[in-house]
Amino acid sequence: MPYISNKARAQFPPADYVPTTAGELNFLITRLCDDFIRHSGGLNYANINTAVGALECAKLEIYRRVAAPYEDSKVAQNGDVYSPETLGQPPI
């Protein structure tokens, strides 16, 4: 999870550039991964594995905290696409 102490957070300056497109976001993420690999001992399996693991955990966290609640609100607003049986519930 991306939760670090407030003291550790203070070492990071505010972002001077905020991406506005998927390409820009991808570019910034890629640059961060490149910087991590270069400054963590260089190109090796462990550093690649660590970067990929951090990306996967960040992906899961944004889905858990942002996407899933959004989807739940849309189910409540528009109705579910899944049948109760598929969700393991008794049929209506």
State which residues form the domain around 33: 17-64
Whole-model pTM: value is 0.83
Question: What tens digit of pLDDT does each residue of 14-68 get?
Answer: 888 899 999 999 999 999 999 999 999 999 999 999 999 999 999 999 999 999 9
Tell me, yes or no, whether 43 lies in a domain: yes
Q: Decide if 74 is inside a domain.
A: no
Domain count, the chain: 1
Question: Please, what's the b/e burial string for 22-48 (b: 16 or more CB within 10 A of its CB; e: otherwise)?
Answer: eeeeeeeeeeebeeebeeeeeeeeebe
Q: Let me know if residue 46 belongs to a domain.
A: yes
As a whole number of Å, the end-to-end CA separation of the chain is 38
CA distances in angstroms from 75 to 8, 37, 68, listed in the order given: 38, 41, 10
